[in-house]
Amino acid sequence: MRALVSQFTRFGLVGLVGLGVDLLVFNVLRVTVLDPEVVVHGALWAKVISTTLAIITNWLGNRHWTFRQNRRQHWWREGIEFGLVSLGGMAISLFCLWFSHYVLGFTSLLADNIANNVFGLALGTAFRFTFYRLWVFKGRELASESPTQTPTASSRLPESTAPAASARQPG
**What span, in angstroms and rounded, lies between the C-alpha atoms of 63 and 160?**
43
Residue 144 has pLDDT above 60, yes or no: no
**Is the whole-model pTM more than 0.75?**
no
What mean pLDDT value characterizes the chain?
Answer: 82
pLDDT surpasses 80 at 153: no
In contact, 25 and 50? CB cutoff 8 Å:
yes
Please report the pLDDT score of residue 120 as a whole number.
93
- C-alpha dist (Å) from residue 138 to 66, 115, 132, 160: 12, 31, 8, 38
State whether the Cα torsion 8-11-12-13 is positive or negative.
positive
CA atoms of 43 and 27, how far apart (whole Å):
9
pLDDT the model gives residue 164? 47
> What is the number of residues in the chain?
171
Cβ pair 19, 117 in contact under 8 A = yes
Say yes or no to pLDDT of 130 above 60: yes
